[in-house]
A = this chain, B = another copy of it.
Amino acid sequence: MPHGIDPDQLDKLAEITVRTGLNLQSGQELVVFAPAEALPLIRRVAVHAYKAGANAVVPFFTDDEMTLARFLHAPSESFDHASEWYYEGIAKALENGAARLSILGNDPMLLAHQDPDCAARLSKAVSRAAKPATKPIANFDVNWCVTAFPGAAWASQVFPSEAPEKAQKMLMDMIFNASRLEGPDPVANWDAHSRNLKTRIDWLNTCRFSELRYRGPGTDLTIGLPDGHVWKGGRSLAGNGVAFQPNIPTEEVFTCPHADRVSGLVSGTKPLSYQGQLIDGIKVRFEAGKAVSAHAAKGQDALRELLETDEGACRIGEVALVPDSSPISRSGVLFYNTLFDENASCHLAFGQSYSSTIEAGSGLPLSTLRERGCNQSMIHVDWMIGSAQLDIDGVSKTGEIVHVMRKGEWAVSLD
């Protein structure tokens, strides 16, 4: 156990992840992706998974030092190689009904000093090879969850002036609070939170907006929403019939933007850690859905590589709303990790859309989804555009304007 991390907090995080996040079913296999450093959390996940009746917990570890060894020593050709057999195996597991847990916690700056071209090539090779394993996740075919462990390098990035052990303890506290684990009954916390998100989702689905208009500092953007778009968030129903919470924590409600109907200028409001590189000060201009110009004050090369991954990488596949008063936002901490930062801020995602955010979308051929406006790409990268200065209007088909957010907060109370 790394010093400074409270084992009781880890155990509660593991329990909510298995019970509420995954809602793991008796007889299910559980496939876990995690940094090797997260072993103390994975061990508690295994305990709760087997208590829930798992028939196997199969861990797949990554390790920052091993990744770095590749960048420091591997031949150049290696960066175009990804192990297809590995992802085909995972795809088979999911096809057989396994649940999937991803534990985040790697160093957000791991590759800051490595060749961005190698990073981009490797990322592209992995995204392509991983497609069979990511598709059932994007399609919500099975129950899955993403949560986080306070890795040492990540903690020191978030709290640079603290000693490493103190930083890990502080980041664990932040994860604990953001994950709504306080009090005697975290499962009840999550039930209440899910009901609140559901109320907001139901309202948005009733509104049936044709487009959303964003205005804020450096932002004047219109996002078309396709016919039959579906707002989602919090608890979701997987294709295997299991109700699960894909992210712990989560504060967002989200839907599918129309891949060809996004126009105007939008400015990022938080840095984005992508594949071990930091991208900050993002400004993107969209025309007919496509990013026609994109600049970053920091990490311009990484941003360019990201947007050039494939045809759909420069269009958006998710639009998500988060009030500026969300607990994660209120903490005032910049996490350098999208799972947290996206839940502190309205955001968009470059790349792949979720087929479950369009009516009857699951199982449709990709070409049909694309015709309906659902973007297709091998990447899905969230980036934060929300702030306390952001106003958002919803526009109906008939041109009626509804205030959705004012100064970063919901404009309509639903209590």
Q: With an 8 A cutoff between CB atoms, is A403 at the interface?
A: no
Whether A113 is near chain B, meaning CB under 8 Å from some CB there, is no
| Residue of A53, A58, A63 most packed against chain B (CB within 10 A) | A63
Please, how many angstroms separate the alpha-carbon atoms of A214 and B131 in the complex? 58
How many chain A residues sit at the interface, stated as a range, is 35 or more
Distance from A198 Cβ to chain B, minimum over Cβ atoms (Å): 33
Q: How many copies does the complex hold?
A: 2
Q: What are some 28 contacts across the A-B interface (CB < 8 A)?
A: A26-B75, A27-B77, A29-B83, A36-B61, A42-B63, A42-B66, A46-B66, A46-B69, A46-B70, A50-B69, A50-B72, A50-B74, A50-B75, A53-B75, A54-B78, A55-B77, A55-B78, A55-B81, A56-B70, A56-B82, A57-B69, A59-B61, A59-B63, A83-B93, A85-B92, A85-B93, A86-B93, A89-B92
A46: chain B residues within 8 A (beta carbon)? 65-66, 69-70
A60 to B66, CA, bound (A): 13
- Asked whether any CB of chain B lies closer than 8 Å to the CB of A19, the reply is no
Within 8 A of B (CB), among A12-53: 26-27, 29, 36, 39, 42-43, 46-47, 50-51, 53
Q: Does A73 contact B (CB under 8 A)?
A: yes
Question: Min CB distance, A164 to chain B, in Å?
Answer: 15
Instruction: Kindly list chain B residues whose C-beta atoms are within 8 Å of the C-beta of A36.
Output: 36, 39, 61
Q: Indicate if the CB atoms of B69 and A43 lie closer than 8 Å.
A: yes
A360 to chain B, nearest CB (A): 30
- Interface contact A57-B47, CB-CB below 8 Å: no
